[in-house]
């Protein structure tokens, strides 16, 4: 039952982040939305990687595999990596946002195209 709420939370986080990415117009808000999306993905991954009642896979001798459920540390390591990468991404994107604001005096992506008309 508790898993159900975890799934629900992660799906809601992903959807909220995605909706904000699709519709928010401010450079900083888009970065925040990306962080929400990543938090949702991380939560989903951790929940899916967990086996209820599983043990940690630390054995001196290889055990019988039938009926044994293990929680491998790999997904948790992956999520740890993703958190670090997300930090790097956020820092880089905020730097870009600051520089963009410095050059163009606006944070609104409607005024920031970077494209001239082709005519």
Partner 1 sequence: MIEHLPILAITVPLFAAFLLPIIEKAHFRARNAAALLAILSVNVMVVLLALRLSREGAPLVYVLGAQSPAQILPQGLDFPIRIMLKIDGFSIFMALTSAVVVLVSYVYSMKYVPEDPRKNYYTILLMLMLVGMLGLEFTNDLFNFFVFLEILSISSSALVSYSYNRKFSPYAGYKYMMISAVATSFLLIGIAFFYSQYGSFNIEYLHGVIRFTLLDKIALIFMVVPLAMKAGAIPMHMWVPDAYSEAPAPVTAALVSASQASLYGVFRLSFSLFGNPVSDVTLNYHTLGWIIIVLGVLSMFVGVTMALVQHDVKRLMAYHAISQTGYMLLGVGVGVVVYMDPGGAAYAAFGRDAMMGGIFHIMNHAFYKGLLFLTSGVMVLRFGTRDLNKMMGMAHRDTFTTLCFIAGALAISGVPPFNGFASKILIYESVYRFSPILAIIAMFVSVLTLASFLKVFYGAFLGPRNEDIIVIDEPLPATVTAAMGVFCFLVLAMGLFPGEVLKYLVEPAVAGLVPGR
Partner 2 sequence: MTAHEYIWKTMPGIHWNPLVLLALFIIIALLIAFAGKLFFRADYHKGTDQVKPFNSGNLDEIDYNVKSSNLYWGFRKALDFYYRGVDSLHNGDLNDYMKWLAFTVSICLLLIGGGLL
* Contacting residues toward partner 1, per CB under 8 A: 14, 21, 27, 30, 34, 37-38, 41, 44-45, 48-49, 61-62, 65, 72, 74-75, 77-78, 81-82, 85-86, 88-89, 92-93, 95-97, 99-100, 103-104, 112, 114-116, 118
Picking from 51, 70, 44, 47, the residue whose alpha carbon sits closest to that of residue 59 is 70
62 binds partner 2 (CB under 8 A): no
Give yes or no for a contact between 24 and 51, defined as CB atoms under 8 angstroms apart.
no
CB of 58 to partner 1, least distance (A): 13
Q: What is the DSSP letter of 73?
A: S
67 binds partner 2 (CB under 8 A): no
Q: Which residues does 79 contact at the CB level (< 8 Å), separation at least 6?
A: 42, 45, 46
Q: Which residues pair with 70 in a beta bridge?
A: 55
Among 25, 81, 87, 96, binds partner 2 (CB under 8 A): 25
103 binds partner 2 (CB under 8 A): no
13 binds, among partner 2, partner 1, none (CB under 5 to 8 A by kind): none
Cα angle 35, 9, 36 (rounded to 5 degrees) comes to 5
């Amino acid at each position: 039952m508790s898993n159900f709420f975890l799934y629900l939370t992660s799906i809601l986080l992903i959807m909220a982040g995605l909706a904000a990415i699709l519709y928010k117009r401010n450079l900083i808000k888009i970065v925040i939305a990306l962080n929400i999306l990543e938090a949702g993905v991380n939560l989903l991954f951790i929940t899916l990687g967990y086996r209820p009642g599983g043990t940690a896979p630390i054995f001196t001798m290889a055990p019988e595999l039938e009926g044994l459920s293990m929680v491998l540390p790999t997904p948790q390591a992956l999520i740890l990596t993703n958190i670090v990468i997300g930090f790097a991404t956020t820092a880089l994107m905020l730097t870009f946002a600051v520089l963009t604001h410095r050059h163009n005096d606006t944070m609104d992506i409607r005024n920031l195209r970077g494209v001239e008309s082709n005519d």
